[in-house]
């Protein structure tokens, strides 16, 4: 029996659910099959850059967000970052730099 390959974890399902979309609706938005969406979300099928970009466009995020960011995580660094104003972002960067220097 052939073992199925598992692909790198993504946050595509998290983003889809965050945007209150079904797999069917997302598939319609990007012109792909529900089966492909399901397989990609389950880590059973690879995605192409083109598909990742289409998914990001349909989900209102950047392609990299689908790989590194869980949108409903209130403690996630990017979730916190998005709530900051520009001066606060500069201050946060300086704090992070200071922490890095101490390490």
The answer on pLDDT for 67 being more than 80 is yes
Q: What is the DSSP string of 15-45?
A: HHHHTT--HHHHHHHHT--HHHHHHHHTTSS
The answer on pLDDT for 103 being more than 80 is no
Same domain membership, residue 61 and residue 84:
no
Q: Contact, 82 vs 61, CB < 8 A? A: no
Same domain membership, residue 67 and residue 82:
no
Same domain membership, residue 93 and residue 65:
no
Same domain membership, residue 6 and residue 51:
yes
Looking at residue 88, its pLDDT comes to 96
CA distance 45 to 47: 7
Looking at residue 2, its pLDDT comes to 65
Per-residue pLDDT of 14-36, as tens digits, reads 999 999 999 999 999 999 999 99
Per-residue pLDDT of 1-17, as tens digits, reads 666 777 888 999 999 99
Looking at residue 29, its pLDDT comes to 97
Q: What does pLDDT average to over the chain?
A: 92
CATH of the domain at 38: 1.10.260.40
Same domain membership, residue 34 and residue 10:
yes
Domain range spanning residue 7?
1-71
> How many domains are contained in the chain?
2
């Amino acid at each position: 029996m052939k073992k199925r390959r598992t692909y790198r974890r993504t946050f595509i399902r998290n983003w889809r659910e965050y945007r209150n979309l079904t797999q069917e609706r997302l598939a319609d938005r990007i012109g792909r099959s529900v089966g492909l969406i399901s397989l990609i979300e389950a880590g059973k099928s690879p995605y192409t850059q083109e598909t990742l970009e289409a998914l990001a466009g349909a989900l209102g995020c950047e392609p990299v967000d689908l790989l590194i960011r869980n949108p409903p995580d209130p403690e996630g660094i990017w979730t916190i970052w998005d709530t900051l104003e520009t001066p606060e972002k500069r201050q946060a960067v300086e704090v992070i730099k200071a922490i890095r220097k101490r390490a």
